[in-house]
Amino acid sequence: MRTIDWDEDSAAVRLIDQTRLPIDYEVLYCERVDELIAAIKELKVRGAPALGVAGALGVVLACKTATSKDEFERSIEQLKKSRPTAVNLFYGIERAYRAAKRGATRDERERLALAEAKKLIEEDITVNRRIGDYGSELLEDGDVVLTHCNAGRLACVDWGTALGVIRTAVLRGKHIEVIACETRPLNQGSRLTTWELMQDKIPVTLITDSMSAVVMRAGMVNRVIVGADRIVKDGVINKIGTYMHAILAREHGIPFYVAAPTSSFDLEHSCEEIEIEERSPREIIYCGNTQIAPANVRVYNPAFDFTPFELIEAIITEKGIFRRPFKRI
Ligand code: MRU
C-alpha cells in the first residue's frame, strides 16, 4: 500500500499510521483538514516527500470542508503551521493551492486541487525511482550502508529516497546490507527503517545513534546515505543526528551521500533563516509511556540539524548526481 494517497470511495486522505508501526499496521482516513493537520503534527504521516503530498491533499480537504473563503484561507494557514522545517510541505500546499485558485466554484476548486495532488503523488513515485537509478550506480556489490531516520517508502508515497537507492541497487543484483541508526527520540530508524527493509528482505542491523563511530572505526560501514528535509544554499537540513554521522564519516574516510528530490531544494535561503522544529520535552523524558528522566528536567529537543556541504560527497536527485563542490547547484 502507498504511504499516503487519496481514497476515492470515502473521499478522504488514506495513510499508514506511522506512530503504530512496527507493532500494529493501521490505516487512517482523514475526511477533514483538521484531522490531517493533527496527523501531521503527531507524525502519523512524516518524512519530507510524504509531507509534500499531505500538504497538497490538505488543500483538497480544505476546499471540501470550508464553508467560506475566510475559513478556507484559515485552514491553509493552519496547514502551513503544522510543521516548519521540511520545505516539501509548503511546496505541496502551494501547488494545490494555486490549482484550486483557478476554479470559480467550490466543486471546481476541489476538483482542480485534487488533480494537482494526484499529479504530485505520481511524480513522487517516478522521481524516487529516478533517484534510485542514479544513486544505485554509487553502490557496489557487498557495500554496507549506514542510514539515519527513515528516508524510505514510509517517508514518501512509495520506494523512498535513501532507501530507494538501496532498493534499486538490490533489484539490480547487488548484495547490500544496511546499518540503521535508531534515531532518538522518536525512533524512526528502529521502528520504521528496520521494518521496511525487513519487509523487503534487505539485511539490516539496528544500532543506537551513539554506536556509529564504533561501526565506522571497525570498518563495518563503507557508505552513508540519508535523506533531506530541506537543502539550502549552504548545506542540508535533516533529522537530528545527521550532522554527527557526517563528521564521523569524514573522519573515517567514508563517503556521505544525501538522496533527495529537487522539491526539497530551497536555495533562496541559508541554514540560519530556517526554523528548526523544536518538539515537546515529553519525547525525551518518556520512552513510550515509561518515564526515563525527572519530569521537570530542562530539555532541548530540536528535530533537525544542519550539515554543511563540505561534509557531503554527493547529492543524488532525480536530475542526476551533484558532487562536491556543488558548482551546478
Ligand atoms: O521528523 P520526520 O520523521 O518527519 O523527519 C524525517 C527526516 O528527517 C527524513 O530523513 C527526511 O524527511 C527525508 S525523507 C525522504
**Which of 156, 163, 188, 242 is the best mutation target for the ligand 1 pocket, counting ligand atoms within 8 Å of the beta carbon and taking the most?**
188
Q: Is the CB of 239 under 6 A from ligand 1?
A: yes
Angle between helices 48-65 and 87-101 (to 10 degrees): 30
Q: Which residue shows C-alpha cell 551513539?
A: 210
Residue 30 CA to ligand 1 centre (angstroms): 21
Cell of 47: 518524512
On whether both 123 and 231 belong to a single domain, the answer is: no
> 143: domain range?
135-323
Q: Return the pLDDT at 256.
A: 98
CATH number, residue 171 = 3.40.50.10470
- Is 200 a residue of the active site? no
Average pLDDT by consecutive 10-residue portion of the chain (329 residues)?
A: 97 98 98 98 98 98 95 97 98 98 96 98 98 98 98 98 98 98 98 98 98 98 98 97 98 98 97 98 95 98 98 98 82
Q: Return the pLDDT at 328.
A: 54
Q: Determine which one of 143, 158, 229, 266 is catalytic.
A: 229
Q: Return the pLDDT at 326.
A: 86
On whether both 106 and 169 belong to a single domain, the answer is: no
**Which of 238, 263, 318 is the best mutation target for the ligand 1 pocket, counting ligand atoms within 8 Å of the beta carbon and taking the most?**
238
Q: Is the CB of 47 under 6 A from ligand 1?
A: yes
Please state, in angstroms and rounded to a whole number, the distance separating the CA atoms of residues 45 and 54. Answer: 8
On whether both 119 and 160 belong to a single domain, the answer is: no
Among the listed residues 204, 60, 79, the one whose alpha carbon sits nearest the alpha carbon of residue 144: 204
Q: Is the CB of 49 under 6 A from ligand 1?
A: yes
CATH number, residue 26 = 1.20.120.420
303 by Cβ neighbours in 10 Å (0-12 / 13-18 / 19+) ranks as buried
Q: Return the pLDDT at 173.
A: 98
Residue 156 CA to ligand 1 centre (angstroms): 9
Q: Return the pLDDT at 288.
A: 87
Report the atom number in ligand 1 closest to the C-alpha of 304.
8
The last residue of a domain, from among 98, 129, 160: 129
Distances from the Cα of 18 to the Cα of 32, 45, 114, 228, 310, angstroms: 19, 6, 24, 19, 33
Pairing of strands 12-16, 4-7: antiparallel
**Which of 18, 147, 229, 304 is the best mutation target for the ligand 1 pocket, counting ligand atoms within 8 Å of the beta carbon and taking the most?**
229
Strand residue runs (E) in 78-187: 144-147, 177-181
Residue 45 CA to ligand 1 centre (angstroms): 10
